[in-house]
Amino acid sequence: MTHSLWYRVRRPFRYPTCCTCVWEVFDVNHAGCVKCGGHHMCANNPVDSKCPLVTCPDGTRVCDITGVILPEIHAAAREYVEHSYRPDPQSACIDMDTEIYSVVYRFLLGPRSELCRTKENQKQYQKIQAHLYKQLKHFKIKQPDCLPNMCQIIAASMVQEKHWRFIRAASEHLAQQCSRQIMLCLLDLRGKGVKITTGTRLQDLVCGMLYMLRTGLTYKNRVLLAAIPEIDACLPHENKIELYFGISSKVICMTENEVKLVFREFYQS
């Protein structure tokens, strides 16, 4: 069944848009919201997927809406490191994995991330509250003897804020998953001659790669940085990291350009 056919069968819908969709699966990888008529379609791979993914005990990732298992290639971390990573004797004692996780933890679970999440979500609540108040005031002036339809009022208020976004709290498992994927990519970069030192340099790289995890990085059929789409809902907006974390937002673009340039030169040469 196509979405257009399902839409005709299930309409009319209660809301034009809604914050929390109630999904109904009408095909293998298709689902529709019974409240607003929205459409969700699972991609053929986790790199292009925008599904809310759930990781199973066996390592596979499943769409939380349709239950579709997204196909992906799993590589053994030990074999990958042995073939691509040549440790520097002077820095052999540095536990880069621990330092990467500490940076990831600070961005997703630390006190600064909690402060950012609380303040930015509070601002969003206030904006929606202001829109709701304006809609009620306008209705009272226009129809003083009628009771307002709160569903219509709330829907009109939500439409006024076109780019509203609430930051979600990340889980410990998500932080570990992000740390591991960044670690594998950094080891691959180091094996291709990129100088990676601890401190500010490593912090900027990890920060930039956290935002790259939203879509991942692939070259032809090679996954250079696995995508973790669920991280997008847990990261603050790029222009807020300098305010809450003291890191320039330029590192996101600079890291992405540097990583892509290194891999492009290596695989095209």
Domain contains 189: yes
The answer to whether position 6 is within a domain reads no
DSSP code per residue over 125-157: HHHHHHHHHHHHHHHHHH-TTS---HHHHHHHH
Residues 124 and 25 in one domain: no
Q: Distances in Å between the alpha carbon of 99 and those of 51, 84, 197, 205, 211?
A: 30, 20, 11, 12, 18
In this structure, what is the dihedral angle of CA atoms 128, 133, 134, 140, given to the nearest 10 degrees?
Answer: 150
Rounded to an integer, the average pLDDT of 214-233 is 89
Shared domain for 90 and 210, answered yes or no, is yes
- Looking at the fold, whether 177 and 251 belong to one and the same domain comes out as yes
Cβ atoms 117, 170 nearer than 8 A: no
**Pick from 171, 192, 196: which is nearest to 104 by CA?**
171
Residue carrying the six token digits 């095909």: 27
Q: Around Cβ 250, how many Cβ atoms within 10 Å?
A: 12
Q: Residue 174 has which token pair?
A: 């998500």
Query: Residue 224 falls within a domain, yes or no?
Result: yes
Strands 39-41 and 30-33: what pairing? Answer: antiparallel
CB neighbour list of residue 85: distance below 8 Å, 6 or more residues apart: 187, 188, 190, 191
The yes-or-no verdict on residue 116 having pLDDT over 60 is yes
Structural domain of 156: 117-160
**In one letter, which amino acid is 143?**
Q
Q: Whole-model pTM? A: 0.58
Rounding to the nearest 10 degrees, give the CA dihedral for residues 254, 257, 261, 264: 160
Number of domains composing the chain: 3
Residue 91: CB atoms within 10 Å: 12
- The C-alpha atoms of residue 8 and residue 32 are separated, in whole angstroms, by 12
Say yes or no: 207 and 103 in one domain.
Answer: yes
Query: Per the domain annotation, does 2 fall within a domain?
Result: no
Question: Which structure tokens are listed for 246?
Answer: 């003291």
Confidence of residue 76 (pLDDT cuts 50, 70, 90): low
Mean pLDDT is lowest, of 54-58, 79-83, 141-145, 216-220, for 79-83
Do 181 and 94 reside in the same domain of the chain?
Answer: yes
How does residue 85 score in pLDDT terms, banded at 50, 70 and 90?
very low
Report pLDDT digits (tens) over 28-75: 888 999 888 888 888 877 666 778 888 887 777 888 888 888 777 655
The count of other CB atoms within 10 Å of the CB of residue 48 is: 14
Q: How far is the C-alpha of 242 from the C-alpha of 250, rounded, in Å?
A: 10
User: Is the predicted pLDDT of residue 178 greater than 50, yes or no?
Assistant: yes
